[in-house]
Structure 1
Amino acid sequence: MNLAVKSTSITTTPKLTYDVLIENQADGTVKATLLGLPDCQSLGNTETDSHRKT
């Protein structure tokens, strides 16, 4: 399993920055989880798909 932590910004005012844990799943999908908000997760076929749903 590959893990990466990335930061992203929300485009609303005020801008907020979140740390996101990106996990490649065994079935080939990618799961994105906001660190500090473990119930805020998204699944996608690619890392880009996961980011759009968060």
Structure 2
Amino acid sequence: MFEDPIVEEVRRVRQEYARRFNYDLHAIAADLRKQEQDHPERLVSFPPKSPRKSKHARAL
């Protein structure tokens, strides 16, 4: 099976990051929230999309 070096690197980094917090999801989430606050310029947000009307939608 083909092994992609980029995928392997992402998996390795993810594993190391989780290990830093003893695989505690609450601690990981808290760290991510802190990073968001410390670096708001790295966040991307888009305006909400308006719902599309389907051609097949039935009128009530």
Which TM-score applies when normalising by structure 1? 0.27
- Say which structure, 1 or 2, has more relative contact order (CA 8 Å, 6+ apart): 1
Which of the two has greater strand per residue?
1
Which of the two has greater helix per residue?
2
Tell me which structure has the larger Cα radius of gyration.
Answer: 2
Which TM-score applies when normalising by structure 2? 0.25
